Structure 1
Amino acid sequence: MKAQPSASHIDRFRRPDDPDWHWLENRDDSSVSDFLEATNAESSAWFAPLEPVVEALYQGHLARRELAVTGLPAPLDHFTYWSETAADADYPRWWRHPLDAPSKRECFLDLDARAASLDFFEIGDMALSPNEAWLAWTEDTNGDEMFTLYLKPLPDGAPKRLLDGIGPELCWAEDDRTLLFTRYDDIQRPESIWRLDTAAPEQEAELILREDDPEFWLGIGKTRSRAWLVLESASKDTSECYLVPANLPASEPQCFHARETGVEYAIEHRPGHFYVLNNREAPHFRLDVCPETGPEASHDAWQPLMAHRDDQTLEGVDAFDWGLVITERDHDRAQVYLRVVELDAQHGIQRDDRLPLPEEPCSLALGDTPHFNERRLLLREESFTLPIRWLAHDLDTGERTLLKEQPVHGTLQPSQLMCQRVWAEAHDGDRVPVSIVGRADRLGQAPMPTLLYGYGAYGEVLDPWFSVARLELLERGVAFAVAHVRGGGDRGEPWYLAGKLEHKENSFRDFLAARDRLVDMGLSDQERVVAYGASAGGLLVGASLNLAPEAFCAAVLDVPFVDVLRTMENPDLPLTIAEYTEWGNPCDPIVHQRIKDYSPLDNLQAQPYPSVFLQGSWHDARVPYWEPAKLYARLQELGSARGPVILRTDMGAGHGGASGRFKAWRDNARQDAYILWALGLIKRE
């Protein structure tokens, strides 16, 4: 066995001329794989006494979950589609039957068979041609987010491998033969959109649009009306859309509205009109309407339909022939709502209703509703105590029909859980929402060992979600809490803006305020709080540990973004340039110093850090494996942590970790065993 780089073995891998361990960035250096294999061996040795607990957690998770899963049927124009995952399968098989002949089932794609001999397998996109005669899909077999395009005639034609190294997204035009896809540049940015004639795939694909500005990424879509292909070029704070008639895909794309720095907009369509969700002179977004006169649409023609509001952010719009479904977020309640707006021919509002919520806080979203004239909306609901369920909401009768609900087996049922929403006071007096869920017979009775989760970047929201895996912790008396910190979008667009760029430190202060609030009100045991952050959430937790190392008894950092300054100084890495609007460009000395002041790796010092469990992935294209590896090495060198510092690198996965569900569940069980140990609920014997 290779030497293990624990505190007593780290000298083997130290290079005096590189005290910051930057040599770990060279994946072609054999010493890098030696280092990661040694740390994996060390991790396995540390977890060995916990293997019975890991196995019990894993088996407990399997016992709670429905293993043989049938997906919700989705009727399109000619066939009804659904997935079936066998009890022992990692991936589903896809089926369909004619709308008028349910007994004529046909399997048209077996993903479990495709993945059988692979260490990693992930579908990027699946796209049916409008006549439902062809299926195109992209798949990644390494975890590096480089996708291969396949095409097959349905139901049982032979798949043909068409293109390698492309982006995940696909979109069919309405001619049943033209397929749109994206290609990457050298830093894995979707920088061009191409069209492929699937009736003559031997021909070269044709370039439709190229984006030269490295801060912008391209994406593709189609309006629900099926009238327009939408090509979007967007940075983190600016967007520009091009339109192509969906039935004339060879047409030149026409710019809908030229980009304006800091202005984001998205387009929806009903015959005769475009609907423009935008933040032009409306920081929380407004909804405008303009005639379908063709691009370029001057904003002078945009007429207000839903005005800007101080207390709500408009997050999305979905158009139907009868009107619109608006997704909006209440800032004060930190709650998302769906609003149904029915319109007449003159855009008079005939109906304006919010759909009911099952409880608050909760998640509510419009499900896949492909038909433009559909008046039975598919809704998806869940909360921390409500398993995922799908309902049909009839707009004419108001009747709600339960279509499918995630079953939960085992001794701890959702009805035995309780969720509380509390508010922490931040360092500047703002109010930070904190959600906490636990067993109803334990929550609030006495301070509980707590797992505190946070993210806080890109405006991403942490709306409540149900987790079967989480039940293993909750049943053992752990409380699970979520800090909805600034930088996320939980309280709308202002909440996001208040936690990015020069305001980034608010995210870290909010996370610590959430922890203190839970302790002060007696919900959490101050000696037993574990912090958890993944990706940009790893930055949140890493920076919080530097500010208050004794606030937590342990931390889990999964594929953590912790080398912020060095990453943002390297424009050759994927994502870096596009992320300047999130973190800032360190070429500016003021920005450089600001990032340096909070970047976790740049602020390590000999102080009493808690035990840390770090996880990385060898093929990760978003947060390279070397970020958690360098944090591990530096913490080991400092030697000041109050408990073990552990690094585990998955050598066959990407940013999302293991792709097969059983391996992912086992990885989750290992992580939970560490959390239970850190909280003092189990011992390593």
Structure 2
Amino acid sequence: MKNLIQAPVAKKEEKVLEIHGHKRVDPYYWMREREDKEVLAYLEAENSYTAEVMAPFKSLEDKLFAEIKGRIQEKDMSVPYLLNGYYYYTRYEEGQEYPIYCRKKGSLEVEEQVILNVNEKAKGHSFYTVGGMSISSENDILAFAADTKGRRIYTIYFVNLETGEQYTDTIENVTGDITWANDNKTLFYTRQDEETLRAFQVLRHKLGEAVEEDVLVYEEKDETFTVYVHRTKSKKFIVLGSYSTLSTESQLIPADQPEQEPRIFLPREAKHEYSIAHYENSFYIVTNWKAQNFRLMVTDEENTAKSAWKEVIGHREDVLLEGLDIFKNYLVVEERKEGLAQIRIIKWDGSGEYYLDFGEPTYTAGTSLNPDFNTDILRYQYNSLTTPASVFDFDMNTKEKTLLKQQEVLGDFDAGAYTAERIYAEAEDGAKIPISLVYKNGLEKDGNNPVYLTAYGAYGYSYDPYFSSVRLSLLDRGFVFAIAHVRGGEEMGRKWYEDGKMMHKKNTFTDFIASAEALIAAKFTSTEKLVVNGGSAGGLLMGAVVNLRPDLFKVVVSEVPFVDVITTMLDTSIPLTTGEYDEWGNPNEKESYDYMLSYSPYDQVEAKSYPSMLVTSGLHDSQVQYWEPTKWVAKLRDLKTDHNTLLLKTNMDAGHGGASGRFERYREVAFEFAYVLAQLGIVE
């Protein structure tokens, strides 16, 4: 689809940026003023242009939205879980955008109590999301945090669950990370820096007292670290956590004595990451100390020095230890082997252990919410590219599993009508890159199928193969959906992550290119039918590969992309910058600067032909500032030599995650799908 409509042309104001004796000229630096009328007018002009270009496909967009929404059970309820004598669950009502949080005392047969109806709270707001929620130890006070901008700046409110009245205590400009102590009146919460939005303080509020008198419990002085707070499952300790990309530290406060000074569990060390869980009189530690893929240690709660640690599960070269959950009689361990999640059950008395069998070649599985310590029932979640999201209760004694709920897909969905498989691409250095695929049965591998290939590849995030009813709108139109498990994620172990970050970051990009080439070589598709997608750090991936191999892709969808790498990582006032030097590198150091500059999508835009591209953004985005995708599109428009469609769509009411409503977010997906289909000439 070629455009006769005139695209906006951004003005240029040269800004010279110099470091290490190297000068960069940024003509669109002026776009950084969020409140500037000229900036807002330019964003609106881009949105108007996008709407005008896509106007002929509005009926297709509406059809896609109706399809997507039509598969979703509007009236729905989560599986209840038992906590402190109450069954808690979330439900949705037909026609409502937001959840209703409820509970029942002692039995599911008694009358329901609505503890928070988000639909009521969201009235009058174009964006509304609830972050943290926490119930006090005597079950009578709800603390919840709400964000009305999408910038992840929350306000904490308190509700008396016996009377329904809201307390006057209101804590503004916080992170939404909240935890009650055991006294039914003390709440711990974290606050972010007003400029960088880095969570750097843990405070203590006593219900009924002035917020101005809240006590600063801990302040993190190191700008590369972020703080959080939670209570152990045993309810014995409040944990104050500090973490950077490669280092962690925990401090402890007795949950029964919330005013006590915190004590350090183990002081932070460079490149030492650990997490802790409490059981009886011991702490269990998941640690990478002398263990690249992590191991499990145990120590007495009174002596937490390394010298007192004893090994429970040793390091394994082929297995990544990801986490654990503790029950009275069992230890449940989450592991990852050959890219797939594993759940391992170990009896405390040493009488046996085993793994759950999931029976599919590619899937997603993990423990669910298990707040009850005194049970032998493990709740876990499972889904795959063909199996809808499912919740099971598993009896760890009898090994009997009970399906409690499976996502209902309305319409004529038949899981047996689709095929999932895993293939491998070979990277430049010989590494085998897994690719998870799903498509409709009967697909011919003749090179003629549209493929929607996506990846992330950063922060050690494992992009598991998951089910999506939304995706059916593509599969039923003949698409192959593919996930490239590129380096930078942690699917194949910790080394997989380390080989895709810092001075190895380009492996992520070349892995993705190799994956695209493998799909073409296997006759799934061709360069004329290959659509690629990535968001945030995955948007950086899109920007890098489209500079490297623009000939390889037909359509690129880049969502809230982190593309102005150098400028952002040199600006310590921007959220996330200082905490991510260990992920991307610190460009204040010349070696890192040169390497990052060599792939930074914004800096590497050239006068050449690019594929059709849709770029999305959020005005209030706290993770990738709106000006990064905006500048990138402006520079692409100025330099690219083709006539392919280039669109920028900015959500003026939201942030990094897009729209907040349950169905409203699918309008954004329907728009993206309509764009993709239109570019491929599929208009039905």
Which TM-score bucket, shorter chain as reference?
A: over 0.9
SS of residue in 1 equivalent to 2:344: strand
Which residue is equivalent to 1:222?
Answer: 231
Which residue is equivalent to 2:89?
Answer: 82
Contact map agreement 1:6 1:636 (CA 8 A) in 2: no
In the alignment, structure 1 residue 39 sits paired with structure 2 residue 40: no
Q: How far is 1:626 from its partner?
A: 0.6
Q: 1:53 to 1:156 in 2, by over 3 A?
A: farther
1:49-198 mapped onto 2 (5 Å cutoff)? 49-100=56-107, 102-160=109-167, 162-185=170-193, 186-198=195-207
Q: How far is 1:93 from its partner?
A: 1.4
Which residue is equivalent to 2:20?
Answer: none
Which residue is equivalent to 2:351?
Answer: 350
Off by >4 Å, runs of 4+ in structure 1: 5-12, 16-19
C-alpha separation in 1, matches of 2:405 and 2:339: 27
Q: How far is 1:122 from its partner?
A: 0.8
In the alignment, structure 1 residue 234 sits paired with structure 2 residue 243: yes
C-alpha offsets along residues 165-218 of structure 1, whole Å, 9 cap, x if unaligned?
001111111111111100112311110101111253566111111110000000
C-alpha separation in 2, matches of 1:16 and 1:462: 39
Amino acid at match of 1:353: Y
Q: Which runs of 5+ in 2 are unaligned?
A: 16-24
Which residue is equivalent to 1:536?
Answer: 537
Amino acid at match of 2:367: L
C-alpha separation in 2, matches of 1:342 and 1:275: 15
Which residue is equivalent to 1:305?
Answer: 312
C-alpha separation in 2, matches of 1:218 and 1:62: 38
Cα RMSD (Å): 1.6
Out of 325, 332, 339, the residue aligned to residue 334 of structure 1 is: 339
C-alpha separation in 2, matches of 1:278 and 1:126: 29
Contact map agreement 1:530 1:679 (CA 8 A) in 2: no
Which residue is equivalent to 1:514?
Answer: 515
Q: How far is 1:409 from its partner?
A: 1.7
Which residue is equivalent to 2:382?
Answer: 381
C-alpha offsets along residues 600-630 of structure 1, whole Å, 9 cap, x if unaligned?
0010101211011010000001101111111
Contact map agreement 1:106 1:155 (CA 8 A) in 2: no
C-alpha separation in 1, matches of 2:192 and 2:230: 17
Q: How far is 1:447 from its partner?
A: 3.7
Q: 1:7 to 1:308 in 2, by over 3 A?
A: farther
Q: How far is 1:244 from its partner?
A: 0.9
SS of residue in 2 equivalent to 1:517: helix
C-alpha offsets along residues 39-85 of structure 1, whole Å, 9 cap, x if unaligned?
00000001100001001101111221111111111222222111221
Contact map agreement 2:133 2:144 (CA 8 A) in 1: yes
Q: 1:7 to 1:299 in 2, by over 3 A?
A: farther
SS of residue in 2 equivalent to 1:46: helix
Out of 243, 261, 274, the residue aligned to residue 270 of structure 2 is: 261
Contact map agreement 1:107 1:155 (CA 8 A) in 2: no
C-alpha offsets along residues 395-417 of structure 1, whole Å, 9 cap, x if unaligned?
11111111011011223422211
Amino acid at match of 2:130: I
1:474-623 mapped onto 2 (5 Å cutoff)? 474-623=475-624
C-alpha separation in 1, matches of 2:488 and 2:50: 33
Which residue is equivalent to 2:439?
Answer: 438
SS of residue in 1 equivalent to 2:62: helix
Which residue is equivalent to 2:292?
Answer: 283
C-alpha offsets along residues 434-490 of structure 1, whole Å, 9 cap, x if unaligned?
111111122646641001101100000111111111111111111111111000111
SS of residue in 1 equivalent to 2:366: strand
Amino acid at match of 2:11: F
Amino acid at match of 1:404: K
Which residue is equivalent to 2:683?
Answer: 682
Return the TM-score normalized by structure 2: 0.96
C-alpha separation in 2, matches of 1:433 and 1:666: 31
SS of residue in 2 equivalent to 1:635: helix
Return the TM-score normalized by structure 1: 0.96
C-alpha separation in 1, matches of 2:401 and 2:504: 43
SS of residue in 2 equivalent to 1:242: strand
Which residue is equivalent to 1:13?
Answer: 11
C-alpha separation in 2, matches of 1:505 and 1:123: 37
C-alpha separation in 2, matches of 1:219 and 1:360: 36
Which residue is equivalent to 1:402?
Answer: 403
Amino acid at match of 1:188: L
C-alpha separation in 1, matches of 2:299 and 2:438: 45
C-alpha separation in 1, matches of 2:232 and 2:14: 58
Amino acid at match of 2:88: Y
Which residue is equivalent to 2:467?
Answer: 466
Q: How far is 1:545 from its partner?
A: 0.5
How many residues align? The count is 671
Q: 1:166 to 1:277 in 2, by over 3 A?
A: same
Amino acid at match of 1:359: E
Contact map agreement 2:531 2:553 (CA 8 A) in 1: yes
Contact map agreement 2:140 2:161 (CA 8 A) in 1: yes
C-alpha separation in 2, matches of 1:641 and 1:373: 64
Which residue is equivalent to 1:243?
Answer: 252
Q: How far is 1:87 from its partner?
A: 1.4
In the alignment, structure 1 residue 48 sits paired with structure 2 residue 87: no
SS of residue in 2 equivalent to 1:460: coil
Q: 1:421 to 1:9 in 2, by over 3 A?
A: closer
C-alpha separation in 2, matches of 1:174 and 1:469: 42
C-alpha separation in 2, matches of 1:522 and 1:322: 51
Q: 1:201 to 1:93 in 2, by over 3 A?
A: farther
C-alpha separation in 1, matches of 2:482 and 2:500: 20
Q: 1:443 to 1:303 in 2, by over 3 A?
A: farther
C-alpha separation in 1, matches of 2:564 and 2:5: 22
Q: 1:205 to 1:19 in 2, by over 3 A?
A: closer
Q: How far is 1:350 from its partner?
A: 2.4
